[in-house]
Structure 1
Amino acid sequence: MTRPMDLELSATHDPDGQPPLPLDAAVGYARAVMDWDAQSIGPAVRSARDIAYGSHRLHRYNVFAPWGAERAPVLVFWHGGGWSNGYRQWVTFMNRAAVSLGFVLVAPSYRLAPADPLPAAVDDALAALEHIRDGIGTWGGDPDRVFLAGHSAGGQLAVLTALLAPDGVAACLPVSGIMDLRHPAPPPGSLEELVYTTVLAEPGLDAAMSPVCRARPGSVPFLLTHGERDTDRVIRSNRTLAAQLAGYQVEVDVVEEPGADHFQTHTALRSPAHPWYRRLAGLL
């Protein structure tokens, strides 16, 4: 199956206007999950694409639901890509596993830097959640049992959304989320420097956009996942966030996936037998 031209990936140029991915591993991940988008819709899945929740071309989400669902739990999963890359199609491969558990899976897009730097993506995540809760009954979903998750930058969006708009959120399960955007002296040319030069609307927003700086008391449980071979920043910031939430008496746990790197923590979710789904079901 041929992919639309605006979804073709290249290590050097993307016709949709997204900058090149910075790492070979990221390019390989992006190509794999985009290929899976065209292959993975199961016959038991009712689906719809490009549902608008706003006026921007990226204010869209895809839905994958069990046929005949009634008051089913909802899993909203935001894609990663360092807030400057990524597509909602990167989440499609999770549809069979989510639906087999009885979940309605929703995969939103959001505005990307540098055209729309943070906090644009956070504003979009909040707007998407409101729109999803208002309309998910059409797909047999329960607006009062919404689980938030995402990979990498999408994990950061999931956590901030759960902290800022907890009503109706049953739990938050970020995967390899980037929980701390702050860096005292980012090396020139590093990914950390790109946060300040490209991702943030202004450098002083680094704390406001960091979940580790927004932890607070609340009733939403958190299950944080990172890989054994994940980036140091991801591992440290997830452990820090967990300690902060626990200090506020929030139910929180951290799971380290053995042997997994930053991208494998997500691609491994192609298997419905992955323990992450059992942990998700256990939070129902």
Structure 2
Amino acid sequence: MKKIILLFTLFSLYANSFAQKIEYDTKSNIQYYNVAVNKSDNYINERCILDIYYPKNTKNFATIIWFHGGGLTGGSKEIPEDLKNKGFAIIGVNYRLSPKVKAEKAIEDAAAAIAWTFNNIANYGGDASQIFVSGHSAGGYLALMTGLDKKWLQKEGIDANKIAGLIPFSGQCITHFEIRRENGIPEKQPTIDTFAPLFHVRADAPPLLLITGDRELEMLGRYEENAYMARMMKLVGHTQTKLYELDGYGHGMTEPGFPLLVNEVNRILKEKQTKK
């Protein structure tokens, strides 16, 4: 027994020392539109920026794009602490907000930020085939819209199916309430149109992990929207859709959700490696 404990201790020390060798760097306020677009619009120039936190002495790492919440009317880019030091790059994205612009502009910006990542992550050492898209609430909605409705990324010359995985936290699956408000539709009037992720269910989408809080504590039927999304994705033939409901947690359920995000990223990376 003592030998086993000694070996385990030595292994732990080795693993910890290896982990400590990974160093991370952060680059802030990178503009993800090109110079001409930035010069043409002061709000884009001010708002459409991202931060990247990445392992600087490793190669071919995976990247998680994180879109902040705030109802498409507020919020600011962030690099979640619980995602740091996991061997991944994390990209926190700002996007334009309603009512200064129409809410759909946030989807355009999200697609532009994803395209920037595909086009630039190799410059930091990352692997463009290992880009995951996530976010909370409005950010989860943006992840779903850009990943399921292929037109947004097509405008940027990117195939949405190149995304390695979609992992929205409490994302709206019907038409976002801010878009409904802009069109005079009441907050509690469910609507499914082209601005609803549910409108774009398809069998060939990237792997999809939906995470919500407790159905009795969540915002306005958010769990049920995600449950309907999971069911419809499966019915159209999507074979990699999962839904997690975090019992006891309300809409602000990011902290218990982060380990699920990390596990899903690692699962998909392992699956990709096995197929090589």
Structure 2 CA distance for partners of 1:51 and 1:201, relative to 1, 3 Å: farther
Contact conserved, 1:50 with 1:60, CA < 8 A, in 2? Answer: yes
Report the alpha carbon displacement of residue 146 of structure 1 after superposing the two structures with TM: 0.7
Determine the C-alpha separation between the residues in 2 that align with 1:258 and 1:69: 37
Contact conserved, 1:101 with 1:281, CA < 8 A, in 2? Answer: no
Determine the C-alpha separation between the residues in 2 that align with 1:249 and 1:213: 15
Counterpart of 1:211 in structure 2 is 197
Contact conserved, 2:23 with 2:57, CA < 8 A, in 1? Answer: no
Asked if 1:225 corresponds to 2:219, the answer is no
- TM-score normalised over the length of structure 1: 0.72
Letter in 2 for 1:93: P
Letter in 2 for 1:169: I
Letter in 1 for 2:49: R
Letter in 1 for 2:86: L
Counterpart of 1:144 in structure 2 is 129
Counterpart of 1:37 in structure 2 is none
Does the residue aligned with 1:46 lie in a helix, a strand or coil?
A: strand
- TM-score normalised over the length of structure 2: 0.74
Which 5+ residue runs of structure 1 have no aligned equivalent?
Answer: 1-42, 183-191
Counterpart of 1:98 in structure 2 is 83
Does the residue aligned with 2:230 lie in a helix, a strand or coil?
A: helix
Give 1:51-200 correspondences, 5 Å limit.
51-54=30-33, 55=38, 56=44, 57-88=46-77, 91-94=78-81, 97-163=82-148, 164=150, 165=153, 166-181=160-175, 192=177, 195-198=179-182
Report the alpha carbon displacement of residue 280 of structure 1 after superposing the two structures with TM: 2.8
Report the alpha carbon displacement of residue 277 of structure 1 after superposing the two structures with TM: 2.0
Report the alpha carbon displacement of residue 201 of structure 1 after superposing the two structures with TM: 10
Structure 2 CA distance for partners of 1:241 and 1:206, relative to 1, 3 Å: closer
RMSD between superposed Cα atoms in Å? 2.3
Structure 2 CA distance for partners of 1:117 and 1:206, relative to 1, 3 Å: farther
Does the residue aligned with 1:87 lie in a helix, a strand or coil?
A: coil
Report the alpha carbon displacement of residue 283 of structure 1 after superposing the two structures with TM: 2.1
Does the residue aligned with 2:173 lie in a helix, a strand or coil?
A: coil
Determine the C-alpha separation between the residues in 1 that align with 2:184 and 2:60: 39
Does the residue aligned with 2:261 lie in a helix, a strand or coil?
A: helix
Letter in 2 for 1:221: P
Determine the C-alpha separation between the residues in 2 that align with 1:93 and 1:126: 20
Report the alpha carbon displacement of residue 219 of structure 1 after superposing the two structures with TM: 4.0
Which 5+ residue runs of structure 2 have no aligned equivalent?
Answer: 1-21, 39-43, 154-159, 270-276
Determine the C-alpha separation between the residues in 2 that align with 1:252 and 1:71: 26
Contact conserved, 1:118 with 1:201, CA < 8 A, in 2? Answer: no
Deviations 1:97-147 (A, max 9, x none): 434332111111111001112210111111111111111112221112110
Asked if 1:245 corresponds to 2:271, the answer is no
Deviations 1:158-192 (A, max 9, x none): 0111112424201100001111127xxxxxxxxx5
Identity of aligned residues (%): 23
Aligned with residue 279 of structure 1, among 246, 264, 267: 264
Contact conserved, 2:66 with 2:79, CA < 8 A, in 1? Answer: no
Structure 2 CA distance for partners of 1:219 and 1:213, relative to 1, 3 Å: closer
* Divergent runs of 4+, >6 A: none
Deviations 1:187-240 (A, max 9, x none): xxxxx5x54334x6999x961111011112214110000011212421111011
Determine the C-alpha separation between the residues in 1 that align with 2:135 and 2:53: 16
Does the residue aligned with 1:147 lie in a helix, a strand or coil?
A: strand
Determine the C-alpha separation between the residues in 2 that align with 1:177 and 1:236: 11
Contact conserved, 1:118 with 1:209, CA < 8 A, in 2? Answer: no
Q: Which has the larger radius of gyration?
A: 2
Determine the C-alpha separation between the residues in 2 that align with 1:202 and 1:72: 43
